[in-house]
Amino acid sequence: MKLIPVQGKIIDITTPISPFMRIFPGDPKPSIERVFTLEKEGFALSMLSFGSHTGTHVDAPSHILSNGLPVDKLELENLMGMAYLLDFSSLSGALNADILEEAFQNTGVSEKISILLLKTEDSSGKHKGAEDIQAQSLESHFQNEEYREEEPDPAYLDESAASWIVGKGFKTIGVDSFSVDSLHSENLPVHHILISGNVNIVECLDLSSVKAGIYFFLCLPLKIEGCDGAPARALLITYPESHP
């Protein structure tokens, strides 16, 4: 049984879902439509529409494997536990196994870490909420904020890094970018190595205000039957200075 250190500070690292958020090109655009209102019906109710990989989300094995488990069958125990956040936000391009090994060795961590989090970019602009962009029209925001093909990748994992993560026995890898693979990858080799190695993938975390270090990580995807992934609420909880 895992004990959650609730005495620590809780940090919400979830990207909010809104019609104004930046999305991966080609993914469904989020829509939040008010169906009933307090003024007319006496209660509020909205209809939500968005892709299964919108905002902070968990990739299920069925996302890329024909016989892979759907998101509702994932072991939640593997999506919570002691995590180490490594900061690669000053880098761009591929992160290989040697880079990860050196960075992890430099942490001096001696305890068993089951979750690895990678801060790969300045996510402060990517995760704007509706209150930050009310003055912008929906059309112009999507036009300005979606990734374009010519834009460079933030730091991403290459195949050797994915194999390193599997070999180290991590249960979950979390990133703040849209993909653990290069944004321009077509066959998603890193996804295949990680998921085939029983490593959960969490993408689009908001790590903009979080420093490198040890945290307790908690991520709960929506329980959508038979689905290839689902948005999730992700939290970090700080440990007291005396632990670990």
Confidence of residue 122 (pLDDT cuts 50, 70, 90): low
Confidence of residue 124 (pLDDT cuts 50, 70, 90): very low
Q: Does position 132 have pLDDT exceeding 90, yes or no?
A: no
Q: DSSP state, 205?
A: B
Q: Does position 238 have pLDDT exceeding 70, yes or no?
A: yes
Q: Say what percent of the chain tops pLDDT 70.
A: 83
Q: Tell me the pLDDT tens digit for each residue of 88-118.
A: 999 989 999 999 999 999 998 877 899 999 9
Secondary element (H or E) of residue 34: strand 31-36
Average pLDDT of span 194-218: 96
Stated pTM of the model: 0.87
Cα–Cα–Cα angle for 29, 32, 36, rounded to 5 degrees: 155
Query: Mean of the per-residue pLDDT values for the chain?
Result: 87
Kindly state the tokens that stand for 216: 């307790």
Cα–Cα–Cα angle for 76, 14, 109, rounded to 5 degrees: 65
From 1-5, 119-123, 132-136, the region with the lowest mean pLDDT: 132-136
Q: Tell me the pLDDT tens digit for each residue of 1-44.
A: 455 666 789 999 999 999 999 998 899 999 999 999 999 999 99
DSSP of 42-58? SS-EEEEE--TT-SSEE
Q: Say what percent of the chain tops pLDDT 90.
A: 74
Give the pLDDT score at 139: 42
The answer to whether 57 touches 203, Cβ cutoff 8 Å, is yes
Give the pLDDT score at 186: 87
Q: Does position 201 have pLDDT exceeding 60, yes or no?
A: yes
Q: Which long-range contacts (CB under 8 A, 24 or more apart) does 177-185 make?
A: 177/120, 177/121, 177/203, 177/204, 178/24, 178/147, 178/203, 178/204, 179/24, 179/203, 180/156, 181/156, 181/157, 182/94, 182/153, 182/156, 183/24, 183/147, 183/151, 183/153, 183/156, 184/149, 184/153
